[in-house]
Amino acid sequence: MAPTCKTIFCFGINTTKYFWKVVGFSNAQNALCRNLFTISPIYESYLKPSFLSGIMSIRQKHWDPKFKKERSKKMIKVKLPDYEEMYQNKDLTPDEIRAKMKEKGVAPPRPWMEKPIYISCTGAIFEPYVPPEGDGKISVISTAGAKQRMTFLEKKGKSYLAIRKIRSFEDDFDVPELAEKAQTIYIEAIKALVAKNKHKVHELVTEKCYPELMYQTYRKTIRWDFIKSLEPPRVVQVRCTDVLTKDNVYAQVTVRMHSQQTLAIYDRFGRLMYGSEAVVKDVLEYVVLEKHLANQYGMWRIHGKIVPEWMPPKDPILKTFIKKDFHAEPKTDTVVPTGDVIVQKSDMSTVAV
């Protein structure tokens, strides 16, 4: 009687009664192993599972287990909700719920809901700068120009105190450098407005200035260009104020800019409404920038613009209307008899006879 084949798996090698078959070997390699490792039927008892149980029970672990305790401490114990307790507590009175929460050391919830308030900017320009009349037109050498310079020097006391307040938050604060930076921010903001990039405009202007800047720009085409600066920009006033608390400080800086610009606005049909792309005009502006000093990531943004009362009014906007036809033919009164009713075509009134 031919002996039956019994297959035993041990260490990745198929051990049979007559030969061993190595897993992953080719047929030629297995044939060679068959000739080398032929097992006699005498050793059949040694290949039974009872004999190999000791071999198969060897622990398959690393010989040098490192950080075993540290790995065991990384286990997170998740506290699962007790649904049975929640079902039992659904009919408890408020006093019983309070007693259970006190027993577990849980603070009772507040009876009101508070919403966080973030004040990123102030709502107006505090202590607005009053530009002297004729600024930009009167020469510094003249008597009126010398008086303007003296008035400007007299008002510098509060600005110096505000600059000291800003430097308590920013050690490297420099007034001339801020004036140049203000002009750069102003140019980038107008270019973002022309390109209708609302996200960029939000980064460069405050929440108070954004609706004022975007007012009536919907479906309008704006052509704007900054030609050159007639005078270098300079800071004319610095002010600081606190909101709600003494530490929540806001700073506002008024920058005087005298430059040449071109502006043209077209309506949705492409017709010119205001200005001209070919006419260069001298523009004198007082731009107010604001920064939240208490905010670590605060930045200087345009907050508004001061328009002096003595400044001449702007040119009116050219609006488009439907042209009426004033040369229409005059209407004639014709009477058409229709029995007992006479109809006048001029005013379509009916007269009974």
The reply to whether 283 and 152 lie within a common domain is yes
Q: Please check whether residue 136 lies inside any domain of the structure.
A: no
Assess whether 165 and 272 both reside in one domain: yes
Structurally, the chain folds into a number of domains equal to 2
Whether the Cβ atoms of residue 163 and residue 340 lie closer than 8 Å to each other: no
Q: Which pLDDT score is estimated for 27?
A: 63
Same domain, 174 and 40: no
Is 231 among the domain residues? yes
pLDDT at 307: 87
Domain check: are 52 and 155 in the same one?
Answer: no
> Are residues 254 and 284 in contact, defined by beta-carbon separation less than 8 angstroms?
no
Residue 341: what residue type? V
> In the predicted model, is pLDDT for residue 185 greater than 90?
yes
The answer to whether residue 23 sits within a structural domain is yes
Same domain assignment for residues 289 and 173: yes
Whether the predicted pLDDT of 2 surpasses 90: no
Mean pLDDT over residues 108-121, rounded?
Answer: 79
Residue 193: the pLDDT is 93
Residues 52 and 151 in one domain: no
Last residue of a domain, one of 306, 332, 347: 306
pLDDT of residue 32: 56
Quick check: 114 pLDDT over 80? no
Domain holding 163, by residue range, is 143-306
Same structural domain for residues 185 and 297? yes
Please check the confidence at residue 58 and state whether its pLDDT lies above 70: no
Query: What CATH number is attached to the domain comprising 231?
Result: 3.10.450.240
- The burial of 139, by beta-carbon neighbours within 10 Å (0-12 exposed, 13-18 middle, 19 or more buried), is given as exposed
- Residues 32, 174: one domain? no
Q: Is residue 293 part of a domain?
A: yes
pTM: 0.57
Do 13 and 154 share a structural domain? no
pLDDT tens profile 188-223: 999 999 999 999 999 999 999 999 998 888 889 999
Asked whether residue 82 is assigned to any structural domain, the reply reads no
29-51 tens-digit pLDDT: 556 555 554 444 444 444 444 44
Closest CA to 254 of 137, 169, 162: 162
If one counts every other C-beta atom within 10 angstroms of the C-beta of residue 10, the result is 13
Q: Is residue 320 part of a domain?
A: no
Which DSSP category does 113 fall into? -
Residues 42 and 190 in one domain: no
Q: How many helices (H) and strands (E) does the chain have?
A: 10, 10
Q: pLDDT tens across 218-237, in order?
A: 889 999 999 999 999 999 98
Residue 74 inside a domain? The answer is no
Mean pLDDT over the full length of the chain: 76
Q: What is the pLDDT of residue 152?
A: 64
> Of 306, 322, 339, which marks where a domain is finished?
306
- Half-sphere exposure of residue 15, counting CA atoms within 13 Å on the CB side? 14
Q: What is the pLDDT of residues 141-179, one digit of tens each?
A: 666 566 666 666 667 778 888 889 999 898 888 898 999
pLDDT of residue 159: 85
Residues 181 and 52 in one domain: no
Do residues 284 and 172 both lie within one domain?
Answer: yes
Q: Round to whole Å and give the CA distance between 53 and 63.
A: 21
Residue 122 lies in a domain: no
**Domain termination site, one of 283, 306, 329:** 306
C-alpha distances (whole Å) from 309 to each of 113, 130, 259, 306, 312 are 47, 9, 20, 9, 8
Is pLDDT at 104 greater than 70 in this prediction? yes
